[in-house]
A = this chain, B = another copy of it.
Amino acid sequence: MIDEPQTALEVLAAFDAGTLTPEMYLDALLERCAQIEPDVHAWTYLDPQHAKAELAGANRTGILRGLPLGVKDLFHVRSMPRGCGSPIYAGEISAVDASVVTLARLAGGYAMGKTQTTEFATYTPAPTRNPMSLAHTSGGSSSGSAAAVAAGMVPLAFGTQTAGSVIRPAAYCGIVGYKPSFNLIDTSGVKELSRSFDTIGVFARSVSDAALLVDAVTGQSFLNATKGADAPSVLGLCRSPVWGMVEPDMQNAWDALCAMLQTKTVVRDIVLDDRYERAIEAHPKIMAQEASQALAYERENHPELLSPALKSMLDEGRARSDVEQHADLQNMSQLRHCFETDLGDTPIFITPSAPGAAPLYETGTGSPAFNRLWSLLGGPCVTVPGLKVSDGRPLGVQVVGPIGWDAKVLNVATWLADILAGFD
B-contacting residues, A142-171, CB 8 Å: none
A208-224 vs B, Cβ < 8 Å mask (1 yes, 0 no): 00000000001110000
A82 to B251, CA, bound (A): 54
Instruction: Give A294's nearest chain B residue, CB to CB.
Output: B188
**A404 contacts which of B186, B187, B218, B326 (Cβ < 8 Å)?**
B326
A106 at the binding interface (Cβ < 8 Å): yes
A98 to B293, CA, bound (A): 10
* With contact pairs A219-B322, A322-B218, A404-B326 given, residues A293 and B186 touching in the complex (Cβ less than 8 Å): yes
List 7 additional A-B contacts (Cβ < 8 Å) besides A99-B293, A186-B293, A189-B297.
A102-B296, A105-B300, A106-B296, A183-B196, A186-B296, A330-B404, A333-B337
A192 at the binding interface (Cβ < 8 Å): yes
Separation in Å of the A194 CB from the closest CB of chain B?
10
**Contact-residue bracket for chain A:** 35 or more
A96 to B82, CA, bound (A): 14
A293 to B326, CA, bound (A): 29
A54 at the binding interface (Cβ < 8 Å): no
A-B contact pairs, 9 of them (CB 8 A): A92-B95, A96-B297, A103-B293, A106-B300, A186-B192, A188-B293, A188-B295, A219-B322, A334-B337
B-contacting residues, A265-319, CB 8 Å: 290, 293-297, 299-301
**A301 contacts which of B102, B103, B188, B196 (Cβ < 8 Å)?**
B102
A264 at the binding interface (Cβ < 8 Å): no
* With contact pairs A188-B192, A192-B188 given, residues A297 and B218 touching in the complex (Cβ less than 8 Å): no
Residues of B within 8 A of A329 (CB): 183
A330 to B293, CA, bound (A): 28
Q: Indicate if the CB atoms of B102 and A300 lie closer than 8 Å.
A: yes
A195 at the binding interface (Cβ < 8 Å): yes
A97 at the binding interface (Cβ < 8 Å): yes
Separation in Å of the A300 CB from the closest CB of chain B?
5
Residues of B within 8 A of A296 (CB): 99, 102-103, 106, 186, 188
Instruction: Give A338's nearest chain B residue, CB to CB.
Output: B337
Residues of B within 8 A of A186 (CB): 192, 195, 290, 293-294, 296
A317-354 vs B, Cβ < 8 Å mask (1 yes, 0 no): 00000100010011001101100000000000000000
Residues of B within 8 A of A92 (CB): 95
